[in-house]
Amino acid sequence: MRLNNYPPCLKAHDTLGTGPHRDPNSLTILHQDNVGGLQVFVDQQWHSILPNSQAFVVNIGDTFMVSTYTNVE
């Protein structure tokens, strides 16, 4: 388990964020504040998630993703 805390940034225009990435772990549990920025990639498009400080975001990471393939002979 890993816990991260990102304190408020006094110069929000100077922040870069983490950039597009995938979560390689099993679960990511995020307690949001009122600052936006969270996006999810669905149907080949990035979608912004409205912040909700009364909720947790639970992301199922790559560990639970199943790849399918067709065996062509």
Q: Is residue 32 part of a domain?
A: yes
Q: What's the predicted TM-score (pTM) here?
A: 0.56
Q: Does residue 44 form part of some domain?
A: yes
pLDDT tens digits along 14-72: 776 667 777 777 788 888 888 777 888 888 898 988 888 888 888 877 666 665 555 55
Tell me, yes or no, whether 55 lies in a domain. Answer: yes
How confident is the model at residue 71, as a pLDDT? 56
Does 56 reside within a domain?
A: yes
Instruction: For residue 54, tell me if it sits in a domain.
Output: yes
User: Looking at the 3D structure of the chain, how many domains does it have?
Assistant: 1
31 belongs to a structural domain: yes
Q: Which domain holds residue 42?
A: 27-68
Q: How far apart are CA 40 and CA 20, in angstroms?
A: 9
Strands (E), the chain: 27-31, 39-42, 45-48, 56-60
pLDDT at 17: 66
63 found inside a domain: yes
DSSP secondary structure letter of residue 45:
E
Residue 47 covered by a domain? yes
Looking at residue 13, the DSSP 8-state letter turns out to be G
